[in-house]
Amino acid sequence: MKWQVAVLLALATSLPGGAARAEEASSTALSLHGFLLAETAARTTGQRPPGGDGGDFVLAEERLRLELTGGAGGAQLLVKGEAAHDAIGKEVAVDLREAYVAHAIGPADLRLGRLIVTWGVGDLFFINDVFPKDWESFFSGRPLEYLKVGVDGVQVRFSTPVVDAELLAIPFFTPDTLPSASRFSSFFPYAGVPGQREELPPARFSNTELAARLYRHVAGFDVSLYASRGYWRMPSIRLDDPVAPSTATRFYPELSTYGASLQRNLLAGTLSVEAGYYDSRSDRRGTDPTIPNSQWRFLAGYQRELRPDFTAGLQVYGELMSSYGAYRSSLPPGAPLQDELRGVISLRLTRLLDYQAWRLSLFVAYSPTDEDYFVQPEVAYKVTDALSVRAGANVLGGRHDWTFFGQFARNDDVFLAGRLDF
């Protein structure tokens, strides 16, 4: 990770006045802190994935985070690096989670490097947040921050009296991280195909992903408008021969999105509304069964503190498929049939106790259309200002083995973690 830090420092010194600011930062403004995280997650179903390497365990690791921050004048530096020891795979991995240099020039703020970006108002259901997610970390019980994955690119923020704007250019495509076959059992109809390939969009200027957000406060509402041009982050599958396939290729079709979100205080709580249109540019007619159809996505949520230190949040989420008739006609015989409308209802309860030293939470999601569910209870305790522990479970199931939650029905687990900050 030393070379990334060196590059970022060099970039900081190349900005106007950067050398002087970097020298000042190194002597007065740089700070280093982090944490040590140890976590394990064990299966409760007794069912292991074929050929899995974890036995009864989904996760067993120790993770060291170092975070370097600094700034002087209009320049800032942030580097978050981690080293993780995987006791199951018996390997050590180094990850640069976030690293960028930032510089303010008048009303504009420029960031260059690895960025973690969060857009939208949904709770674990994402519409205009089109940036990559790590679903293996989420279903393993890692802290929620590990659901987000950094992207390498350029971010510019503008502030004006009329509207604020955020623009991103991402030249290197990053897909979602799906639960691996070595740790999780999931639905994959082509697992028996001998040749397994993956095709990522080539790193060309023409393939650079672009995203924009306009936002401002209007009549008591926080209003945002979104647009993006890139690719689906969940892979599609293409076979070389539909009758006797020898190769299954995972690829990422072209996608554009357009959407909006609203949020405001209402009746001592917070109302959130979000919607978006997913334009599947690679198959706008919906006649290719290997590519997702265009769709509308929408959600509405309300969160309120019912009593001191006890908060409840209710959310309704939906996906409406376009060109549904063409989709049905294009399906091969025996293929799973998705409903035209997918709906999910979710509830989050959070209780703080003993001067907020204890945190009890419960997240429940149920889809009446897919007939599947996800439940995640969690208990966290702050032993000291530096030491905390947490325990919880991931429970999934459903009527079908090919729906989003239902495919992980054999992967229920309980997890236990301890964290020491320094």
Residue type, 32: L
pLDDT of residue 191: 81
Beta bridge partners of 31: 69
pLDDT in tens, 220-248: 999 999 999 999 999 999 999 988 899 99
CA distance to 123, 300, 347, per residue, from 363 (Å): 10, 16, 6
Q: Which pLDDT band, with edges at 50, 70 and 90, does 185 fall under?
A: confident
Q: Examine the pLDDT at 407 and tell me if it is beyond 70.
A: yes
Q: Examine the pLDDT at 28 and tell me if it is beyond 90.
A: no
Q: What percent of the chain has pLDDT over 70?
A: 93
Q: Which pLDDT band, with edges at 50, 70 and 90, does 305 fall under?
A: very high
Q: Examine the pLDDT at 255 and tell me if it is beyond 90.
A: yes
Q: 309 burial class (0-12, 13-18, 19+ CB within 10 angstroms)?
A: middle
- Say how many residues make up the chain: 422
pLDDT in tens, 77-100: 999 999 999 999 999 999 999 999
Q: Which pLDDT band, with edges at 50, 70 and 90, does 25 fall under?
A: very low
pLDDT in tens, 155-178: 999 999 999 999 999 999 999 999
User: Taking Cα atoms as reference points, which of 304, 224, 208, 310 lies closest to residue 261?
Assistant: 224
Q: Which pLDDT band, with edges at 50, 70 and 90, does 361 fall under?
A: very high
Cα(first)–Cα(last) distance of the chain, in Å?
20
Kind plus residue range of the DSSP H or E element containing 4: helix 2-14
Please give the Cα distance from 386 to 43 (Å, whole number): 29
Q: Examine the pLDDT at 403 and tell me if it is beyond 80.
A: yes
Q: Examine the pLDDT at 8 and tell me if it is beyond 80.
A: no
Task: Please check whether residue 249 is in contact with residue 198, taking contact to mean a CB–CB distance below 8 angstroms.
Answer: yes
Report all structural domains of the chain as residue ranges with CATH numbers, in order of start: 116-421 (2.40.160)
Q: Examine the pLDDT at 187 and tell me if it is beyond 90.
A: no
Q: Examine the pLDDT at 213 and tell me if it is beyond 60.
A: yes
pLDDT of residue 189: 82
Please give the Cα distance from 398 to 387 (Å, whole number): 37
pLDDT of residue 122: 97
For residue 205, is it left (φ>0), alpha (ψ between -120 and 50) or beta?
alpha
